[in-house]
Amino acid sequence: MELKNDLFLRALKGETVERPPVWMMRQAGRYLPEFMELKHKYDFFTRCQTPELASEITVQPIRRYGMDAAILFSDILVIPQAMNIEVEMKPNFGPYLPNPIRSQADVDRIQEVDIDATLGYVMDAIDMTKEKLAGEVPLIGFAGSPWTILCYCVQGQGSKNFDKAKEFCFTQPLAAHALLQKITDTTIAYLKQKVAHGVNAVQVFDSWGGMLSPTDYTEFSWQYINQIVEALADETEVIVFGKGCWFALGDMAKSRASALGVDWTCSPKNARYLTGGNITLQGNFDPTRLLSPPATIKKMVKEMIDAFGKDKYIVNLGHGILPHVPIENAGAFIEAVKEYGQ
């Protein structure tokens, strides 16, 4: 199907554009009143695993704001679930894994994953979403980085420092690398299947990459992300986003990724400098800044685009949108981009 709006894909390819495209990480979700209605009726993984709900949630922000790309509503922890690792989503707590992985024996028990059997519901959600979008905008599929998935599998829950996950890597490196490789293989198969079902680009989220030193990042995170990039680069556009990973931008820029996400702790100027100025960048508005008055948001967005430059750039937040952002503020963010250069 011909896309009516291919601005996002053109920016990913580094083409000259009239204005940069815009979407927001976690745009399909918790800040929208229409999402909250569904949240009150269905628990988290029911929403992820029911294609009708996941596709509806995916298109909600597009209907309301008309972003230049939709991102499939799902979660990074569907991968450990597919690997037969139990994951619960506890209200007011977050992810909880009752049987964390702590030994080589635990890693050895993880079987190879049949993507269709375990994650077929995600593919059904893509099919339904494509139908609902009707070629309006591109659809992004995503996965967590192997390191970020390991963090949850070993820690068993969210954490400020993922000390148990790091301890596992540093005291049992063979087990850690075996686990990272299993996650990587599963993720590659998963993302390839998403591409086969018609997503137009994929993003790898390395939410906890910034927990590692640059040396440990290369060993325990980047080499596995790069395997994913290499495996997918001939089939689709790949965006890599590492939160707190400015130190790795130079290495990332040498990879076959189409674009790199930047968080708000790295200035546009530094991000361009560190990446050599040739790759498309995405970001990097502080999500908390969406609590500023709409007029301030618009002014800051314009300044941000001026600083990155309108080409080889995708406007986004530096991390996911917060649940308590007023809808008119999110609207101001999108409008500022659409009005750019007018």
Which parts are annotated binding residues for substrate? 26-30, 45, 75, 152, 207, 319
Q: Specify binding-site residues.
A: 26-30, 45, 75, 152, 207, 319
Q: Which residues pair with 237 in a beta bridge?
A: 201
One-letter amino acid of 183: I
Q: Which residues pair with 142 in a beta bridge?
A: 203
* Coil/strand/helix, residue 148: helix
Contact partners, residue 257, CB within 8 Å, separation at least 6: 229, 233, 238, 239, 240, 279
Chain position carrying tokens 């002014």: 299
Cβ atoms within 10 Å of 112's Cβ, excluding its own: 9
**Nearest CA to 237 among 207, 270, 267, 280?**
280
Give residue 158's Cα distance to chain centre. Answer: 17
Pairing of strands 201-206, 139-144: parallel
Do 314 and 281 contact (CB within 8 A), yes or no? yes
H-type alpha helices, 255-326: 268-274, 294-308
What is the Cα–Cα distance from 321 to 72, expressed in whole angstroms? Answer: 15
- The sheet with strand 259-262 has its strands ordered as 70-71, 139-144, 201-206, 237-242, 259-262, 280-285, 313-317
- The encoded tokens of residue 105 equal 């024996």
What is the Cα–Cα distance from 94 to 103, expressed in whole angstroms? Answer: 24
- The encoded tokens of residue 43 equal 């628990």
* Coil/strand/helix, residue 204: strand
Torsion angle defined by CA atoms of residues 309, 4, 285 and 305, in that order, rounded to the nearest 10 degrees: 20
Cβ atoms within 10 Å of 34's Cβ, excluding its own: 14
